[in-house]
Amino acid sequence: MTPVPPAADLAGPSVVPASGDRRRHPAPAHLVFFHGPMDCGKSTLALQVDHNHTRQGRHGLLLTQGDRSGTPQISSRVGLRREAVELDGDTDLRLLVRDRWAAGHRVDYLIVDEAQFLTGAQVEQLAELVDTSHVDVYAFGLTTDFRTRLFPGTQRLFELADDVQRVQVEVLCWCGLPGLLNARVVDGAMVREGATVVVADTAPAPLAGAEADPGGAAVRYQVLCRGHYSRGQLEPTPTGPGQLSLR
């Protein structure tokens, strides 16, 4: 018999319990996923959601991934920041929360930044926390990688989340159209193939969207509209023959 995925029978929030004794149970928790391109304000929204819950006396645990600062935190480009717990692909999120409880800490909700880097199994762990432990989960992540494909964590969140919302906060292509896609730019030219690298959406300003390529090339990311992503056009006036090269 094929094992049933944990959230395969996930009931929507509109389902009414047959017994009608809902008052004896905690309010149903939810798994909510906010997604968008780089620079769309996901981390700012994550910190705002945390703030709103804190003001209601709830206790949250903030999680992130790919933070290279050594002091993990969720930081936004508008200057907000809060300490966070750094995850990796081996972290069992159920154990993480249970360890907090065992140490006497309340965890009413989770804020998960850089959620695109979660494994499918970790997204299933989040769904289990929602369904069996009534922990609300608010996940924030990139939609697609530089190849325009869904990140694995993003795909599983699309499949399992109670609510999926696109964040679109004034991130524009150079042409003024909404920026939808993240282009990887190596030594000034757009590339469409290669490994997906774990790099935080909100690296410190000098490093924002930049990383070191194993070969030593300068790598950065740029948000483009779909048309200019398709054409590989990074700016209004091509400056040379290399500008439109589609590697």
Which residues contact Zn ion (rule: CB under 5 A)? 173, 175, 177, 225, 228
Neighbours of 144 (CB within 10 A): 19
The Cα-based distances of 87 to 18, 25, 200, 212 in angstroms read 38, 31, 12, 22
Distance CA 32, CA 164 (A): 6
The nearer residue to Zn ion, 46 or 234, going by C-beta atoms, is 234
- Give the CB-side neighbour count of residue 30, counting CA atoms within 13 A: 11
Beta bridge partners of 60: 109
Question: How many angstroms from the chain centroid is the CA of residue 86?
Answer: 14
Q: 114 catalytic, yes or no?
A: yes
Greatest Cα pair distance, the chain, in angstroms, is 70
Name the minimum Å distance from CB 231 to Zn ion.
9
Distance CA 78, CA 120 (A): 31
Name the minimum Å distance from CB 221 to Zn ion.
15
Name the minimum Å distance from CB 173 to Zn ion.
3
Please check whether residue 11 is in contact with residue 160, taking contact to mean a CB–CB distance below 8 angstroms: no
Name the minimum Å distance from CB 227 to Zn ion.
6
| DSSP secondary structure, 182-226, as one string | EEEEETTEEE--SPPP---TT--GGGTTEEE-TTS-EEEEEEE-H
Smallest CA-to-CA distance from 140 within 121, 124, 163 is with: 163
Which one of the listed residues 83, 86, 114, 235 is annotated catalytic? 114
The nearer residue to Zn ion, 11 or 177, going by C-beta atoms, is 177
Active site residues: 114
